[in-house]
Structure 1
Amino acid sequence: MAESYRRSHWGHAVFVLPYLTIFALLLAFPLFWSVWLSLHKVDLFGPGRFVGLGNYARVLADPVFLQAFRNTVVFVALSVPTLVALGLFLALALNRTTRAASFLRGLFFSSSVLSVAIVTLIWRFVFIPGEGLMPLIFEQLGLQPINFLSTAGWSLFSVGVATVWWCIGLPMMLFLAALQQIPGDLYEAAALDNASPWRVLTRITLPSIARTVMLVTVIQIVMQFQLFGQAHLMTNGGPSGTSRPLVMYIYEVGFVRWDVGKGAAASELLFLIILCAAMVQYVVSTRKPEVAE
């Protein structure tokens, strides 16, 4: 009996072995190798030299890193609330069973399936000076056109607009799924009590989807801290680094300047930020709801 039990467990291990192999090769090994690189002064052409936390000290003392970190925090602070609020608004507006609502849901979600190259190409046509859509609108209104992609302050704004347009589909669909799980009896009882739409929203809808709001917020924080493609293709981090995000800084340090140890240290700092956000999601998702007495 014991022999059969052990054999059954080994059989289960065979089924998970392919996943464990891929996990070890593509996730676990690169993670530990990156930690090793971050503790060494190394490039891709030599064995490297152990420097301990020296790379982290160099990163934290680098004004370019501090600027990239500030850009990323500002970008996340502005884009994440916009994505959450706009995604919730669209979900509330399109939580219908009509054909028009179904068409609009597909239309708003369609941008999410595009590649970053196509998204940035579309929005470069909108913001590009001279013949872009925004300069033409400014000229028709009699206003001085703004060079959105090469003006400090506006370049990061332009990247944010493109990102919100690209990523809005996922929050909307998650909120729609959560809204459709709310029992209809609650709304019927509210209608019998002549509750106002605002009261229904604040007392029924939002409390019922509170976990989804937190989930969407954490997902978007994790995603937007990894900003790279939009900034790289639209502004190349300019002007003067005012739209350079953390991932672009890591790319430039590690693969342009070949300072792999310093780039790995910066990537580990970014990993710690994302890990904290993921831990918040885990704590919130595993918390048991309180049962009313």
Structure 2
Amino acid sequence: MNLISFKKNKLTRVSKEDRIFDIFNILLIVIISLLVIYPLYFIVIASISDPNLIYSGKVWFFPKEITFEGYERIFRDSKIWIGYKNSIIYTVIGTIVNVALTLMAAYALSRKDLYGRNALMFVLMFTMFFSGGLIPTYLVVKDLGLLNTMWAMILPKAVAVWNVIVAKSFFENTIPNELLEAAKIEGCSNTKFFMKIVLPLSKPIVAVMVLFYAVGNWNSYFDALIYLNNENLYPLQLILRNILIQNEAATQMVRDVGSLAAQQRISELIKYGVIIIASVPLLVVYPFVQKYFVKGVMIGGVKG
């Protein structure tokens, strides 16, 4: 028994090179994590700290002279709430349209009995590398009567080809043909098979698609900048852009402040606060789909 234990210990002993490699990896992960987490943490503490102390370099790890005046003014501003409402509408409806079209297209292309599926895949992949450009796309949206409507934020980007490829690979590697044959024997149609069997077995890829599209729709502002002129249709991200770049906060949310110095101080609080408010929804939703995220990406990326 002693000899066997000695051999097991010898086999499981970690070499010096392995320890150095593990230590290096841990340090690298810690450094990268700090580089990602600290800027987010700094924005949080800066949104409730005195801007004068931030400019003087006295705020690093903890907030100082805590104030919630920026958040109070943000929540009192009607444009922020309109932007929040519009972003939620665009994200929810847009994600439903995106995921539905992507999954249907991906499943159809994953079927080996689909006539001309290679030609269809070529046409889809061609659009990944070549497009008409901004001006032709704008003219198409204009001719369709979508300018200054909600659908201008949804229909032009209804399907992402890369997501179709990922979902197609998932279906090919997860849904066996034998399952379809057995369902057909029982009298199941293609539509019923997709709705009743394929989708319940595809929760990981559905969660991945929802996350990908929801993040893209929530963060989208360029389409609104091009296609929308009505401020009542602006998403939150476009309002955030105007606050950060055009400094509209100094003229809209701080009109009741007398001195210019006080206006600039409150404007900085508002800028940091709006960033936090715009990021909270995604941070809240992500933990609920995280368990499916890695699995779906790994399975969907096996074959392209």
TM bin (shorter chain)? 0.7 to 0.9
Taking a change above 3 Å as real, the CA distance of residues 190 and 160 of structure 1, as seen in their structure-2 partners, is: closer
| Separation in structure 1 between the aligned mates of residue 232 and residue 294 of structure 2, nearest angstrom | 39
- Find the counterpart in structure 2 of residue 270 from structure 1: 278
1:54 to 66, 69, 72: 69
2:119 aligned with 1:103: yes
Letter in 2 for 1:14: F
**1:191-210 aligned within 5 A:** 191-210=184-203
Quick one: percent identity of the two aligned structures?
Answer: 16
Unaligned runs of 5+ in 2: 1-9, 251-266, 296-304
Are 1:44 and 1:260, in contact at CA under 8 Å, matched by a contact in 2? Answer: no
TM-score normalised by structure 2 residue count: 0.72
2:78 to 63, 73, 91: 63
- Find the counterpart in structure 1 of residue 155 from structure 2: 161
- Find the counterpart in structure 2 of residue 29 from structure 1: 38
- Find the counterpart in structure 1 of residue 244 from structure 2: 254
**Coordinate RMSD, CA, aligned:** 3.4
| Separation in structure 2 between the aligned mates of residue 69 and residue 276 of structure 1, nearest angstrom | 15
Are 1:253 and 1:260, in contact at CA under 8 Å, matched by a contact in 2? Answer: no
* Equivalent pairs, count: 259
Shift in Å, 1:283: 4.4
- Find the counterpart in structure 2 of residue 238 from structure 1: 229
Taking a change above 3 Å as real, the CA distance of residues 21 and 120 of structure 1, as seen in their structure-2 partners, is: farther
| Separation in structure 1 between the aligned mates of residue 16 and residue 68 of structure 2, nearest angstrom | 45
Unaligned runs of 5+ in 1: 135-145, 288-293
Shift in Å, 1:211: 2.8
Shift in Å, 1:198: 3.6
Letter in 2 for 1:272: V
| Separation in structure 2 between the aligned mates of residue 4 and residue 189 of structure 1, nearest angstrom | 51
- Find the counterpart in structure 1 of residue 216 from structure 2: 223
Are 1:43 and 1:261, in contact at CA under 8 Å, matched by a contact in 2? Answer: no
**1:84-163 aligned within 5 A:** 84-97=99-112, 100-112=116-128, 120-128=134-142, 133-134=143-144, 146=145, 148-149=146-147, 151=148, 154=149, 156-163=150-157
| Separation in structure 2 between the aligned mates of residue 31 and residue 248 of structure 1, nearest angstrom | 20
1:281 to 278, 289, 293: 289
TM-score normalised by structure 1 residue count: 0.74
- Equivalent position SS for 2:232: coil
Shift in Å, 1:185: 1.9
- Equivalent position SS for 1:209: helix
Taking a change above 3 Å as real, the CA distance of residues 99 and 175 of structure 1, as seen in their structure-2 partners, is: same
